Each structure stands twice: as C-alpha cells, then as structure tokens.
Amino acid sequence: MFAKILIANRGEIACRVIRTARKLGVRTVAVYSDADARSLHVEMADEAVHIGPSRVGESYLRGDKIIAAALTTGAQAIHPGYGFLSENPDFADQVTAAGLIFIGPSAASIRAMGLKDAAKRLMEKAGVPVVPGYHGEAQEIVLLASKAREIGYPVLIKARAGGGGKGMRRVEHPDEFSEALSSARREAKAAFGDDRVLVEKYVDKPRHIEVQVFGDNFGNAVHLYERDCSAQRRHQKVIEESPAPGMTEALRKAMTDAAVKAAKAINYSGAGTIEFIVDASQGLKADRFWFMEMNTRLQVEHPVTEMVTGTDLVEWQLRVASGEKLPKTQSEIALTGHAFEARIYAEDAAKGFLPATGTLHHLRFPDAAPQGATMRIETGVRAGDAISPYYDPMIAKLVVHATDRQAALEALGAALSRTEIAGSTVNTAFLAALAADPDFAAGDVDTSLIGRHQAALTIVPPPSGETIAAAAVAASGAGASPLSDDPWSSLAGYAHFHSVARRTWLKFGEDDIAAKVSVRPDGRFQVALDKPYDDTNSHDFRAAPRLARWPGHITVFEGAVGYTFAVPDPLARADDAAASTGSLRAPMPGLVKLVRVGKGDAVIKGQPLLILEAMKMEHTISAPHDGVIAEIATEGAQVTDGTVLVRFVEEHNAATTAVS
C-alpha cells in the first residue's frame, strides 16, 4: 500500500478520498487554487500545495503543477478524483513518465473510451450492442444532416468527448438541425476543447442504466451491479439509485455480461462505469439496451453502489493501483437492499436550474437516518464556505440505504425534509418533490420524467402566515438574550400590564410585509401580520420554529423548503430598492459567448439576444418585450451577477430574463 498520495481534485471527492486514505493509514496531499485556500479538503489533508489562480485552466487543469507538487511532497501516486484531469490520457502518461502511479486506468484504456465515436466502434467489434447512429470521423454539416435524415428524427447530437450533458442537443425536425449543431459544437468546444460530434437515434422512453465495473492488473474484471440514473435535468443526473427499479434478471445478466466484456476488451484496470441507454417503452427487455459510453474513472454516484454491495470503491482503487488483486471475486459480491443518492446543488430550480452562488451561512444535515435505514453525507463544504462561480455548484450528496426501495425512498424524503441550508438558493425542495412524485415513487422513471413534470416539481408554495410570523419574531429581536441573536432562547422579560408591540418589516421577493410582535405574560410570542399576507392575522408560538439568521436575512424552514426573508435596513434610502427599467441583467456570473443583435436593432419579445456561458453551460438571453437595442454587451465580456447586458431605447416595465 502507498505511504502517501496526492489528490488532484477539490471539494467533495477530495474529502471522500482523504477519508478512505486515512482509514488505510495513507497520508494525503491536497492541491488548491486561490478560491480554495480555506476549503475543507485543504484542512483535512496532511499537507496542501497551492497550484494557482481560481480558474481551473490555471490550477486544477495544470498537470505540470500537480505533478511537481507530488514530487516535491514525496507522494508516490496521484488520485485524479472525477472531472478535471481524471479522464485525460496525456496527464496519465505524464504521471507515469514522472515515476509516479496514476490511480486509475492506463492511458491506453482512457484513450480507447475517451471519444464516444471511437468507443462505440470498439464496442461493436467486441459484440456489445450500440445505439443506432453515425459515429464516423467526417464532420461536415451536410453529411451530418444527411445522416440525421437516414437515422430518422428525433435525433440526438452529442459531443464525442466529455459528458454531463454538455454539447448535447435533441433535434425534432430537420429545420432545427443546423442551429442545434452549432450550439452543441460551441458548448463542446468550451467544455472539452473538442467540437466534434456524433448523431444518434433518440430513444422515445430512454432509461439511463449504468454498470459499475472494476478491473485489476492481473486480467480480472468484475461488475458491482447496476445504477439507475434516469432522473436527470438538462441531461445531468439528480437522483441515482441501485438497483434499477423494475430490473429483470434477464436484463441484469445481459447488461452486466456486456459491461464486463467491454472492460476486458480494453484490459481495464481500476474503477469504471459502462453506461447504457435502455428503451423502456415496452418494459425492460434484454434486447432493448445499447452501449452509450464508458466513464474511465470513479463516478459521482459511486456511494449508492457502495451501500448495496458493502464495498469501499476508493479503497479498491488504492489497492489495485498499488499492485494488489481485486479484493473480491464476482461470486463474493452480493446485492443487498436499496440505495438512493440525491445531489444537493446551489441552483434555482424554478428558473430552469440556473446555477447559484453565495455563502453557506447556515448548513445543517440530519443527525441520523430514520429507523431501519442508514445514511451518509458526502460533502466538501461546511457552514461559512462560499459557492463560487468557478466550480461545480454541488453542495453535498445525501445517500440513504434501506431494506427495499419504498423504505429507502421514505428515508430519502425524511432526510431532505430535515436538511437546512441558508445563504444560497438550493434545490432541496425540488429533490423532495421529485422523491414524492407518483411516477418516480412507482419506479416509472425515464430521462424525460423531470422535463414532463418540471412545472409541478419546481413550484414552491408561498410561505404560510405562521412562517412569516416566525420570521417577524426573529427579525424583531423580541426577547433575545444578550448572549444570543436567537429570539427563542429566552423570554421577553417583565412587563407590568402588557408588553409593547414591536413593529417589524420584512421583504419576501418583491413583497413588503409589516408585522407587530409582542410577548404574552406566559412568555409566548404573539404576531399580528398586516393583511393580505395572512387571514388569521394572529399567531402564538409555544416552540421555536426551524430558522436561521444571517446578515440581513432570515430563513425559515418548512420541510425541505427554505423561505428566505430580507430584513430591510430602516435607514436605507428607498431609491436604492428601485430597479432601473428597460434593461436586462446577467442572472449569474458568466462569459458573453455570442451576441446575436446590435445597437439600434429592433427586436421582438422572445427573440434571442445573446448567449451567456456559465458553469460550462450555454444560456440564451431573450428579449422580454418588443423594443430597440440601445446598448448590448460585447462578445467575450466576463460579467458578474447583476451586470447590465442589454439596454432598450424605449421605456418598459422591468422584466424577467428569459433563460433556456
């Protein structure tokens, strides 16, 4: 076993590797950028080395700096985690050339599976079924459009490099092909440095089912069963589970046999995932699945496999890379119970899952899983950390395991309802709604489920009168202890006849709310809200609600929903609150990738104006109304959240940016 390893990654996966390394007595070296100087993975590691500025191209993608850090600190091997350089064969070669061990597959295996088109040709030769489509080298638009017509619409344009839904577009009609191809190529180029694509038949009711495989350097390869990753938004996974609901023994055997065959075809060593698309339009059948791609690394969702098989896949990675054989044979790997993983992101589900930033002023996960279930939280942040625009906005992975799917799903819902996050917009309410969705609960899942139900899944009911009243009490400071800003920590003190009501103001969204807070003789708080916010108009509190105070705000938690109220500064000038009209502002930090109109152009409502690239995804900014362009951002401009992107000549009421 290694004495010391370097982890060429950050956040949750770096922390995950450190925990297993510590268990095995292996010392760890972390690397970090400027933005991560005080991050959790830096604190947890035995040593840490600064490798550059916040942008990934100047830090986490600098293989030379990472290798130099490993050599300087005496690390024997490098664990790449996932993302960044984990599937870069040149980096794997450079690690080996430096006399270090790459904790992952060989560069040859990564190259064999790194490009989707070449991988599919290889799988066809190995006898693994592949999706009907064009996987050739030629990339002329006329040829690709011709192949799309041959395949038959709808088709799917996919970047041949990378994954995560980037560079992927569904095309319903030939007239849409050219624009979709251009958009997919731009996004693929930005994300992977490769704008080449393949074109495939779009499966009407696709299930995304993948098989965890593992190989060693002695020719052994096993599978650790399947994961269902069909619950996706924008082609990115949201909730994963194992085993796949509705899985038949015939299909499981066919898929796992194909997965092991694929791994052996490239002499695979280490952790890998064979991803299949399954046509579920007529149920799960053994002849209706096709190879999509192989991820030559550890997957984000690997904990669900660990839960149902009782394994530590990171430990397996370290053992195999250090020269040991696989810890178990195929017959020794059993499938037990059911597990779910929910990815908690800083994002606004109601606004098309736009990534969000912010400081995690309050972060609290459940102390324990419901009776009969087990739970683990995989995270790389803690309270007080910031979600920056430079990296993936995932906050944590909440993983539960129980005896069967129903019990595991109930445990997932219960855990989400007790998760509290304040300081950034998060997706916990959406995850809880998805877990409770009737189709999802019944296991009737496909990759379009979230899209079909998105409106219902992303609607958050307005706060109840009691929730507003709780925020009012917290904002008023009534009864607060001198040693705490928590108004529930003590009584309000003594009043000879009755307490004097305190006038409190809150802001929820665009709504201004006024309330009067007083304390009854028995110590309970009483709140009267101005109508029309509350029909009851009076609330008594005997117990403290779940809430968090943070600078200028109060968040009250109802189940998985966090309602955030701004507490206005009574001395602030009113004109600061008035937004200028006739302009569009950036909904998040990003890069102006493409400008479609110019100064003086007349535009109509809904017309695309520019493309903003953020979090490696493209977002179309459209006109909220008819008008004439007075000013527009320039291509290549780096903008921050709230930057004015477009100004109109004519005056209009403030409008909301349309983002797709």
Both structure tokens of 296: 């030559």
CA atoms within 13 A on the CB side of 193: 6
* 239 CA to centre of own chain: 10
Summary count for the chain: helices (H), strands (E)? 16, 39
Q: For residues 368 and 585, what is the distance between their CA atoms, to the nearest angstrom?
A: 42
Is residue 297 part of the annotated active site? The answer reads yes
137: three-class secondary structure by DSSP: coil
Q: What angle do CA 470, 474, 479 make, to 5 degrees?
A: 110
The Cα–Cα gap between 643 and 18 comes to 39
Distance CA 195, CA 188 (A): 5
Kindly state the tokens that stand for 307.
């839960």
- Identify the bridge partners of residue 644 per DSSP, sorted by sequence position: 585
Q: Give me the phi and psi of 557, to 5 degrees please.
A: -100, 125
Report the C-alpha gap between 162 and 391 in whole angstroms: 16
Nearest by Cα to 7 from 59, 78, 100, 57: 78
What's the Cα-to-Cα distance from 590 to each of 584, 620, 649, rounded to whole Å? 14, 12, 25
**Catalytic-labelled residue, pool 111, 233, 297, 343:** 297
Torsion of CA 296, 147, 191, 394, to 10 degrees: -70
Question: Do the beta carbons of residue 240 and residue 223 sit within 8 Å?
Answer: no
Q: Which residues are catalytic?
A: 297
